[in-house]
Structure 1
Amino acid sequence: MLAYSLSSLAAGIGVKSIAPTRHSELLPRAEVEALGIVWKGNSSSETSHDSLAELTSYPDDFTWCDKDGVNYCTPSLNQHIPQYCGSCWAHGSLSALADRIKIARKAQGTDIQLSVQHMLNCGNAGSCHGGSLDGPYQWIHSQPAGISYATSQPYMACSAESKEGTCAHGDWSCTPMNVARTCGTFGQECVGLSHFPNATIAEYGHISGARAMQKEIFARGPIACTIDAAPIEKYTGGIATQRSFMTDHVISVVGWGTCPKEGLYWIVRNSWGEYWGEQGYVKVKSGALALEQACAWATVQDFTAPERHNQYACFEDGSNCDASKPGADTPPAKEGAMLGKLHEALGGGL
Structure 2
Amino acid sequence: MQGSCVWAVPKDFTAPEKDNEVHCFEGGENCVSPSKKKAAAPPAALRGSESSAPAPQRRSELWSNKEVQARGFVVRGNSSTTSSHEALSAPEGGFPASFTWGDKDGKSYLTISVNQHIPQYCGSCWAQGSVSALSDRIKIARGAQGVDIQLSVQHLMNCGNAGSCDGGEPNAAYQWIKNISDKTGSGLSYTTGQPYLACSSDVSGGFCKKADFTCTAENVQRTCGTFGKACVGLSRYPNATIAEYGSIQGKDAMMKEIFSRGPIACNVDAVPLLNYTGGIVTAISTQTDHSISVVGWGTDAKEGLYWIVRNSWGEYWGENGFFKVKSGALFMEEDTCAWATPGDFTAPEKNNQFHCFEGGANCAPSATEALQVVV
TM bucket by the smaller chain? Answer: 0.7 to 0.9
Deviation at 1:309, TM superposition (A): 6.5
Match of 1:251 among 284, 287, 292: 292
SS of 2:278's partner is strand
The structure that is helix-richer by fraction is 2
How high is the TM-score relative to the length of structure 1? Answer: 0.84
Which piece of structure 1 moves more, 16-25 or 116-125?
A: 16-25
**Whole-Å separation in 2 of the counterparts to 1:22 and 1:57:** 39
Identify the match of residue 120 of structure 2 among 74, 80, 83.
Answer: 83
Matched, 1:172 2:196: no
Q: Is the 2:304–2:326 contact (alpha carbons within 8 Å) kept by the matching residues of 1? A: yes
Q: CA deviation at 1:23?
A: 0.6
Distance 1:137 1:107 in 2: 23
CA RMSD of aligned residues (A): 2.0
Contact preservation (8 Å) 2:120, 2:198 = yes
In the aligned structure 2, how far is the partner of 1:343 from the partner of 1:260? 58
Checking the alignment, whether the CA contact within 8 Å between 1:180 and 1:196 is kept in structure 2 is yes
Structure 2: 5+ residue runs without aligned partners?
1-23, 31-51, 356-362
**Alpha-carbon separation, structure 2, partners of 1:77 and 1:131:** 18
The CA deviation at 1:291 is 1.1
Corresponding position of 1:153: 194
Report how many aligned residue pairs link the two structures: 309
Which residue of structure 2 lines up, in the alignment, with residue 5 of structure 1?
none
Q: Note closer, same or farther for the CA distance 1:46–1:126 as it changes in structure 2 (3 Å cut).
A: same
Change (3 A) 1:68 1:340: farther
| 207-216 vs 300-309, which moves further | 300-309
Q: Equivalent residue for 2:45? A: none
Q: How far off its partner does 1:186 sit?
A: 2.2
Q: 1-side partners of 2:332 and 2:282: how far apart?
A: 11
Partner Cα separation in structure 1 for residue 232 and residue 305 of structure 2? 50
* Separation (CA, whole Å) in 2 of partners of 1:266 and 1:76: 17
Q: Provide, for residues 19-44 of structure 1, a one-character-per-residue CA deviation record: whole Å limited to 9, x for no partner.
A: 52211001221111111110001001
Alignment of 1:222 with 2:258, yes or no, is no
How far has the Cα of 1:340 moved from its partner? 12
Consecutive unaligned residues of structure 1, counting only runs of 5 or more, are 1-13, 313-338
Q: Which moved more, 1:123-132 or 1:54-63?
A: 54-63
C-alpha separation between the residues in 1 aligned to 2:112 and 2:372?
26
Task: Give the distance between the partners of 2:352 and 2:225, measured in 1 at CA.
Answer: 18
Match of 2:236 in 1: 195
- Larger of the two Rg values belongs to structure: 2
> In structure 2, what is the equivalent of residue 327 of structure 1?
none
C-alpha distance in structure 2 between counterparts of 1:224 and 1:305, whole Å: 24
Distance in 1 between residues matched to 2:255 and 2:317, nearest whole Å: 25
How big is each residue's C-alpha offset from its partner over 1:45-93, in whole Å with a ceiling of 9 and x where there is no partner? Answer: 1111000122352111100000000000011100011101000000000
Question: Is residue 237–residue 354 contact of structure 2 (8 Å, CA) maintained in 1?
Answer: no
- Native 8 Å contact 2:136 2:262 kept in 1: yes
Matched-pair contact (CA < 8 Å) for 2:232–2:364: no
Give yes or no for contact 2:174–2:245 (8 Å, CA) kept in 1.
yes
Q: Which residue of 1 aligns with 2:77?
A: 41
1:205 is matched with which residue? 246
Once the 2 structures are TM-superposed, how far is the Cα of residue 210 of structure 1 from its aligned partner?
0.5
- In the other structure, the counterpart of 2:171 is 134
Q: Compared with structure 1, are the counterparts of its residues 230 and 70 closer, same or farther at alpha carbon in structure 2 (3 Å cutoff)?
A: same
Shift of 1:164: 2.4
Supply the distance in 2 between the matched residues of 1:30 and 1:340 (Cα, whole angstroms): 39
2:147 is matched with 110
- Aligned-partner Cα distance in 2 for 1:305–1:75: 18
Higher strand share: 1
1:179 Cα offset (Å)? 0.3
Match of 1:324 in 2: none
